[in-house]
Structure 1
Amino acid sequence: MASQSMEVVAKALEQQMLQSVRIVEEQLDAEMNKLDRLDEDELEQLKERRLESLRKAQKQKQEWISQGHGDYREIPSEKDFFAEVKDSKNVICHFYRDSTFRSKIFDKHLAILAKKHLETKFIKLNVEKAPFLTERLRIKVLPTLALVKDGKTKDYVVGFTDLGNTDEFPTEMLEWRLGCSEIINYSGNIMEPPTVGKKPGSKFTKVEKKTIRGKAHDSDSESDED
């Protein structure tokens, strides 16, 4: 009886698979027939729309590059910060100090992401050259990333707390965290952090989409007062 039951289930599964294949084939046939029915003028219109889309994408890319996107670079003063965020819709600013060794870790990852995400400007600023701005943004822990959208600071990445509390977090983890704040165009699953390079004992935190402008920050990273 058991073997007969298994045979019935196997046949049912086979029928479902065949039905799925037929549906896919019918959809493909419908698309092919639709293309076959297009005349030369319609095909030319499709081609032109595609070319126009590519032209717009290239124009946008060139505009970003002209605004300083594509490279991770240091700005000389807090006065330059206001000009940089005014020019670009999405800006990530790394606030650091030379004596904070973990800033070098952020430098490595941000340099990689700057080339990948042209839609966002990546800059860094020494807090010793920006006392007014550091106080205004209430930056108490270094390193801190300020995430600025449309000229307003919407979120912060404070130390490595959201990145697994480890110095060895992968670039993908920072990319995911930035994607949670919608400061970059993130193509992965925003609901779960990547597990690449995850080590035993590392704690990864889901990050809610919320504005925390002006919030005091707590972290086990180095304090600005150190």
Structure 2
Amino acid sequence: MESLEHTVLAVTQKIEQKLDQELACLENVGEDNLEKLREQRLEALRRAQSQKQEWQRKGHGSYSELPSERDFFAECKESNKVVCHFYRDVTERCTIVDRHLGLLAPRHLEAKFLRLHVDKAPFLCKKLSVHVLPTLLLFRDNKVCDRVVGFDDMGGVDDFPTEALEWRLGRAGVITYTGSYGEDVVFQPKPSRRGLRRVGPSGSDDDSD
């Protein structure tokens, strides 16, 4: 709850920043203009609160397990932005990703965070080309807009900070990231082969290196 209140929804922050800029640019602001700006701010906050409640109703704010690939389609259909982790329990780096996503989900209500065991999703893994683990598929408007494979985009180390993944998801546009991580990073998406596991038959995660 503390992290949720701390973010106050990035959408609200953007609206407030815009109104603050408008206020700063006005010269000789009259009482009528001030009152109008106050009303606009209150209306923006009301809309943000309504959006927050709508997201929570749809399951945003938590990192949820999908029982089957059929549930995947139903969940994605009602949310514009989705982060889905294709995982297997025996893959150590999938556990690392789980920890980070569990922290990010309540901070970013604007996206739905899901996890799906690859053994329960053979059709999706084939259709969406999920070949190695861990893989994060990122969706906007029910279409794959990006994917995170392995840890190369977060520095190529197992102990990367949560903010590194937060920044990466922000780069893809599935969450709103307002921090400063990655300002000096030259982002060059490329296939990751570091510490990955190939998706094979159940229980047969072979090294992909």
Same fold (TM over 0.5): yes
- Give the number of equivalent residue pairs: 177
Pick the aligned partner of 1:187 from 162, 172, 178.
Answer: 178
Asked whether 1:207 is paired with 2:188, we answer yes
| Alpha carbons 2:163, 2:181 under 8 Å: kept | no
Cα root mean square deviation, aligned? 2.3
Tell me which stretches of 4 or more aligned residues in structure 1 moved more than 3 Å: 30-33, 41-44, 188-193
Q: Which residue in 2 is equivalent to 1:87? A: 78
Higher Rg of the two aligned structures? 1
Q: Deviations over 1:184-221 (max 9, x none)?
A: 1111358636xxxxxxxxxx76135xxx9xxxx55231
2:110 counterpart of 1:119:
yes
Could you tell me which amino acid in structure 1 is paired with residue 187 of structure 2?
Answer: K
Report deviation, 1:168.
Answer: 0.4
1:155 aligns with 2:130: no
TM-score (normalised: structure 2): 0.77
1:190–1:89 distance in 2 versus 1, CA, 3 Å: farther
Give CA deviations for 1:105-163 in whole Å, capped at 9, x if unaligned.
00110011111111011000001011101111110101100001100111110011211
How far apart are the structure 1 equivalents of 2:25 and 2:89? 60
Partner of 2:6: none
TM-superposition CA deviations, 1:49-75 (whole Å, max 9, x none): 221111001001111111111111111
- Contact persistence 1:164–1:205 (CA under 8 A): no
* Partner of residue 7, structure 1: none
Aligned partner of 2:193 in structure 1 is 219
SS at match of 2:133: coil
CA distance in 1, matches of 2:149, 2:27: 55
Superposed counterparts of 1:6-45, under 5 Å: 34-35=28-29, 38-39=30-31, 41-45=32-36
Residues 122 and 136 of structure 1, relative CA distance in 2, 3 Å threshold: same
| 1:140 partnered with 2:131 | yes
Structure 1 residue ranges without an equivalent (≥5) = 1-29, 194-203
Partner of 1:48: 39
Q: Which amino acid aligns with 2:161?
A: P
Amino acid at match of 1:98: D
Deviation digits for residues 14-68 of structure 1 (CA, Å, limit 9, x no counterpart): xxxxxxxxxxxxxxxx979724xx23x4443332222111100100111111111
Q: Return the letter of the residue paired with 1:52.
A: E
After TM superposition, the score normalised by the length of structure 1 is 0.72
Residue identity over aligned pairs, in percent, reads 52
Inter-partner Cα distance in structure 1 for 2:104 and 2:65: 15
